[in-house]
Amino acid sequence: MSDSISRYTTANGAPVPHDDISVTAGERGPLTFDNWRLFEKLAHFNREQIPERVVHARGSAAFGTFRLTRDLSDLTIADFLRGVGRETPVVARFSTVAGGQDSADNLRDVRGFSLKFYTEEGNWDMVGNNTPVFFIREPSKFPDFIHTQKKDPRSNLVNWQNRWEFWANHPQSFHQVTILLSDRGIPYSYRHMNGYSSHTLSLYNAQGERAWVKWHFKTNQGIRNLTDEQAETVGTDHHQRDLFRSIEQGDFPSWTVKLQVMTEEQARHYHINPFDLTKVWPHADFPLMEIGQLELNRNPDNYFAQVEQLAFSPSNFVPGISGSPDRVLQSRLWSYADAHRYRLTVNYQQIEVNRPRCPVSNYQRDGLMAAAAPLGEAREGGQYASTNFYPNDRAVEGAPVPDAMVAEPPMPLEQDAWVGYHDNRDEDNFSQAGELYRLFDESQRERLARVFATTLQDVTASVCQRVIAQCYAADSDYGRRVEQAWRTGADESDAAEQTLNNF
């Protein structure tokens, strides 16, 4: 065989003589038991799939670079946020939320906007969305919420009754519902949408001072959306194709990265709870500060290895970046790593796309699929220490020791705070939705009302009435318009006759 042709092998590396024919007992006879190559092939095929993500299962990813344009040493010790011009490799994954892996890109849904920054002091994951707020401020509602967005357990179909029933019973969702049903509910492509941390995160500096921050990624391609009618014409793979093709053609998408910053003192007195995920911080009070550019310029080589196995976690912080008292964020700090351990095993951070680009030195050992096996001696800058316990006397041999300098400042708590069930369900759910509505022009308001009417078409009257009451609570024109559109639609489809059994 010529040198330029690579030999086909089995998984153990042994060359394969044939792959189109199996070993049989005679020309017309059955298989024999020594068809181990065939059995390996069939067995591997049976195991090609892993559980898909429980949410955000359908997505696209690309690699690129974050370039810092403003030094942030005054705010943070984060290594990659200091020194203008500093470049950090990143991988981004965009996704829809509700649909499974084989659903469609062109649906009305929130879009995930996740970034992994491979910094020299560990991976920082910014796991956000294309909207600055979220449906809930109470994390225990997440599984209920997602159940209503996914397929109905009986019909296996998307069910707007379930969706609206959740929203009717959770006015805290209304701000995000207004965004979802507005023009921004179906982005034209992943390149034409903004990203947001949505949550309040924090930065802390060398003096131990913490500032609350919200991250914004403003598309340099311009915001572009699809109406429901346009979405039907672009095809179900449109977002994947658009991202992949534009990068293949050298038309690299980019985003301008900005921060909103609030001091601890400002947070104490601000009239909006800065840790309420259903609220934005008005730009007039907290202006956007430009800090960098994000560019995506390389497609993955292998979708399964680099996208399906790509694992983000809001708990992947680096020194200088931390969380906040936002309850939803705190649940997420636990939830994602748990999901990855289930989907990808306990050693998911050793998979190439998730692996930090800096040395990983600790005393965690072994477990399913351990690939970075400690070999009993220090290697490559002390990456693998010979000991598996701490403390020990081996620091001079490269055994890792903690660095107290990276400790984050203590998280403030309210004075005299009581541990217990604190109900914040009724905390102003409508003002910001009303403010947003009043920014819409006439045609945007009309389209919004139409989307309400269409999706409420087969929904019980009692749910519709609660939803319309929420629109009125946000803005009287909003309520009037949605009610009118709904009544017109209801007359047409005789929706008054609809029952809960509306599949």
Active-site residues, by number, are 56, 129
Strands 321-322 and 289-298: unpaired
Give the containing element (helix H, strand E) for 211.
strand 210-219
Whose Cβ is closer to ligand HEM: residue 53's or residue 279's? 53
Please choose, out of 178-186, 215-223, 236-244, 325-333, the segment that lies near ligand HEM by the rule CB under 6 A: 325-333
Mask: binding to ligand HEM, 2-41, rule CB under 6 A, as x and -?
Answer: ----------------------------------------
- 214-273 binders of ligand HEM (CB under 6 A): none
Q: Does 180 bind ligand HEM (CB under 6 A)?
A: no
Mask: binding to ligand HEM, 444-483, rule CB under 6 A, as x and -?
Answer: ----------------------------------------
Binding test (CB under 6 A) with ligand HEM, winner from 76, 88, 95, 130: 95
Q: At what angle do helices 476-493 and 461-474 cross, to 10 degrees?
A: 160
CA distances from 147 to 57, 159, 334 (A): 14, 10, 20
Whose Cβ is closer to ligand HEM: residue 343's or residue 480's? 343
Sole residue written with tokens 């005393």: 363
The DSSP string of 90-128 is EEEEEEESSS-TTS-SSSSS-EEEEEEEEEBTEEEEEEE
User: Least distance (Å) from ligand HEM to the CB of residue 332?
Assistant: 5
Binding test (CB under 6 A) with ligand HEM, winner from 76, 114, 278, 350: 114
Mask: binding to ligand HEM, 49-68, rule CB under 6 A, as x and -?
Answer: ----xxxx--x---------
Nearest-angstrom CA–CA distance, 159 and 455: 10
User: Least distance (Å) from ligand HEM to the CB of residue 323?
Assistant: 13
Q: Does 137 bind ligand HEM (CB under 6 A)?
A: no
Nearest-angstrom CA–CA distance, 103 and 262: 39
Q: Does 331 bind ligand HEM (CB under 6 A)?
A: yes
Whose Cβ is closer to ligand HEM: residue 56's or residue 191's? 56
Give the interface size with ligand HEM as a residue count (CB under 6 A): 27
Binding test (CB under 6 A) with ligand HEM, winner from 225, 335, 345, 457: 335
Nearest-angstrom CA–CA distance, 424 and 178: 20
> Known binder of ligand: residue 336?
yes
Q: Is residue 196 within 8 Å of residue 215, measured between CB atoms?
A: yes
Q: Which residues contact 312 (CB under 8 A, 6 or more apart)?
A: 93, 114, 116, 125, 127, 336
Whose Cβ is closer to ligand HEM: residue 254's or residue 316's? 316
Burial tier of 273 (Cβ tally within 10 Å: 0-12, 13-18, 19+): middle
Residue with the CB atom nearest ligand HEM in the bound state: 112
Q: What's the full length of the chain, in residues?
A: 503
Binding test (CB under 6 A) with ligand HEM, winner from 142, 244, 252, 303: 142
In 440-495, at which residue ranges do the beta strands (DSSP E only) sit? none
For residue 362, give the nearest of 331, 384, 339 by alpha carbon. Answer: 384
From first CA to last CA, the distance across the chain in angstroms is 61
Using CB under 6 A, list all residues that contact ligand HEM: 53-56, 59, 93, 95, 112, 114, 127-129, 134, 139, 142, 198, 310-312, 328, 331-332, 335-336, 339-340, 343
Which residues does the annotation place in the binding site for heme? 336
Which residues does the annotation place in the binding site? 336
